Chain A
Amino acid sequence: MSDTLPDTLPDPLDDLNEGDEPAILQLPLDAWHRARGGRMVPFAGYEMPVQYDGIMAEHLWTRESAGLFDVSHMGQVGFTGDGIDAAGVAKALEAVLPGDIAGLAPTKIRYSLLLNDEGGILDDLMATRLPEEGAHPFGEASHYVVVNGATKYDDLSYLLDVLPDDITMNLMEDQALLAVQGPKAVAAVARLIPGVDALVFMTAGAFEWNGHPLWISRSGYTGEDGVEISIPAEAAADFADAICAEPEVKPIGLGARDSLRLEAGLPLYGHDLDPETTPVMADLGFALSKRRREAADFAGAQRILAEREDGPAVKRVGLSVAGRQPVREGASVVDADGAVIGRVTSGGFAPSVGAPIAMAYVPAALAAAGTPVRLVQRGKIHEAAVVPMPFVPHRYVRAGGK
C-alpha cells in the first residue's frame, strides 16, 4: 500500500518506509504537540502536527467549538523605514502588492498578494498597518506582514531585490503564531485576555498575557470567527496550555486546517495559487483595490487590468463532486471528448459537507455555477458541477455586526 497522489500534506504512510529525510527544523511548540499526542510530519521545512484525535473529529470540533492551530511556520515580517515614515513604507510595498496599503488605518488588516512583474502570484499574505511605535510589540516597524511558511525565504529575497534600501525587513523567528478558530474561539480567548472580543474581523491590537506582549488579529483561514496571536516563542507553550484548559478549545492539526480552508473556499498557496496564476484567474479580484486599479501602478498591472476587462481565459471555481470518492489535486478536468481543459488544484472529503469537494481551474466559459464538468483521476471519470464558494458559509464578525 502506498501513496500515489500529490497532496497538501505528506501521506502519513510515507513515513512508514522513509529513509532519507531532509533537514527538518523544530518549532517552539514541538515538544508540546508531541506531549499532546500530535502526529508530526514534515511540512514547509518543519515538523508539524498533522492530527491529534483524527482529522474528521478535529474539523467538526472547530466548526462547532474552537480549535488551537500552531501556525508558527508562517513568516511574520516587520517592515521598518529608515528615515522614511509609515506612508513611505506603504508606498514601497504597493509596488508589489495590488492592495490599498497606503490607505490602511492603524490596526487594520488587508489580504493581499505578492506579485511578480508579469502579475503572477508569488504568495498571498496578510498586511497590517501597525499603530505608532510603542503601541505594538514589533519595535520600530510600521507594517506587520504574515506570509506562507513554504515561501517566506523566497518572499524575503524577492522583496530585498524590489524594495528600496531604506526599508528594513525583520523576519521574527522568535515569535510563535497561534490561531484560535471557531464560533467559541473569541469567548475562550477573551477569558484569558480581556478586551480581545472588542476586535472585529480584519482588525488587530496589542494585548498582554502573563506579562508577555501579544499582537492579536481577528482573522484566520478556516472561514470561522477567531484570532491569530503573535506571541514570544518562550511563552507559546504556557499560553497553549492555558487556552487548551478552556473547555471549548482543543489542539487541531494541519490536516483539519486544510479541510477547513478548502470548505471556506480559500485558496492555498503552492496548490491553488502559483506564479503562473494572476489574481483575476484566481478569482481574487477583491484584492485589487479601486485606487490601485485606477492608478495601474502595481507589478503586472497592465496584464492584470486587461484580464479584468476582457475576462480571464481560465478561472478558479469550486466543484461539488458526485459520489463519495474524493478527487484530489492533480486530477484533470475534461470536456465531453475527453480532452483536458483544466485541473483540480485542491480536493478532498469535506467533513462539514459530508461529500467530496474540490477547487479547479476551468475555462471561463465553464465557470458559471451549475455548469457540469467531468474529472478524471487515475483513469476513472467523476461527475462534478461548478458551485459557488464558500462551500460552508463564513462566520466572520464584521464591524457593525453582532
Chain B
Amino acid sequence: MSRYFTEDHEWVDVDGDVGTVGISEYAQSQLGDIVFVDVPEDGKQLDKGDEAAVVESVKAASDVYSPVSGNVLEGNSALGDDPSLVNSDAEGEGWFFKITLSDASELETLMDETAYAAFVSKL
C-alpha cells in the first residue's frame, strides 16, 4: 500500500484500485478542534481536484479536494458521531472517504511521504 499527499494537505492510501482519503496530520494540527465533517455520498463521481468534503473546526470551514478521480465507495460514518477522530488520528481512523480510482496515472502528480514532509517543513 502506498500513501500519497497533495499540496492542499490531503492524503490518499492506495490499495489496488481503491484509495482511502483524509487530511494530513499537519492539516489537522493547523485546523485545531474539528467539530464537523461533511463526507461525500456513496457513488458520487469526483474528478481530481473536485470539492469532496468539508471539514469544520470551531473557527472555520475548509474544503477538502479529491486527490484522484473516481467513484466514492463510502464516507467514513464514524466521523458523524465523533469528528474529533480527525484530531486524534488524522492519517488513520480519521479518514474521510474511500474512492475507486479511475486513472492511476494521476498518482504520479502527487507527493510521496518524504516529499510531503519536505514540503511541509518549508511552510
Contact = CB atoms under 8 A, between A and B. Distances in A.
A54 B62 contact: no
Interface in A330-362: 348-349, 351, 356
Interface stretch (A1-9, A75-83, A152-160): A1-9
A13 interface: yes
Interface stretch (B27-35, B68-76, B105-113): B27-35
Contacts, number: 93
Contacts of B1: none
Contact of A11 (B9, B35, B36, B59): B59
A56 B38 CA distance: 20
A165 to B, nearest CB: 44
Residue from the set B10, B36, B38, B61 with the largest chain A CB neighbour count within 10 Å: B61
Given A1-B27, A324-B83, A54 B33 contact: yes
A326 B61 CA distance: 8
B62 A351 contact: no
B62 A1 contact: yes
Contacts of B83: 324
Contact of A1 (B32, B33, B63): B63
Given A1-B9, A56-B58, A326 B36 contact: yes
Contacts of B35: 324, 326, 349, 356
A57 to B, nearest CB: 8
B15 to A, nearest CB: 22
B32 A11 contact: no
Contacts of A50: 59
Interface string B35-72: 11010000000000000001111111111110000000
A255 B59 contact: yes
A70 interface: no
B8 interface: yes
A346 to B, nearest CB: 12
A16 B30 contact: yes
A183 to B, nearest CB: 21
Contact of A12 (B23, B30, B65, B80): B30
Interface string A1-40: 1111101110111011100000000000000000000000
B67 to A, nearest CB: 10
Given A1-B9, A16-B30, A16-B123, A349 B36 contact: yes
Nearest to A18: B123
B9 A4 contact: no
Contact of A325 (B31, B56, B63, B64): B56
A259 B27 CA distance: 22
A305 B55 CA distance: 44
Q: Which of A1, A13, A324, A378 has the most CB of B within 10 A?
A: A1
A259 B58 contact: yes
A268 to B, nearest CB: 13
Given A1-B62, A16-B9, A349 B123 contact: no
Nearest to B80: A324
Given A1-B23, A16-B9, A348 B62 contact: no
A54 B34 CA distance: 10
Nearest to A254: B59
A203 interface: no
Contacts of B63: 1-4
| Closest 4 pairs (CB-CB, A-B) | A56-B33, A11-B60, A349-B35, A55-B58
Given A2-B8, A55-B58, A326-B56, 4 more contacts: A1-B62, A17-B123, A324-B35, A380-B38
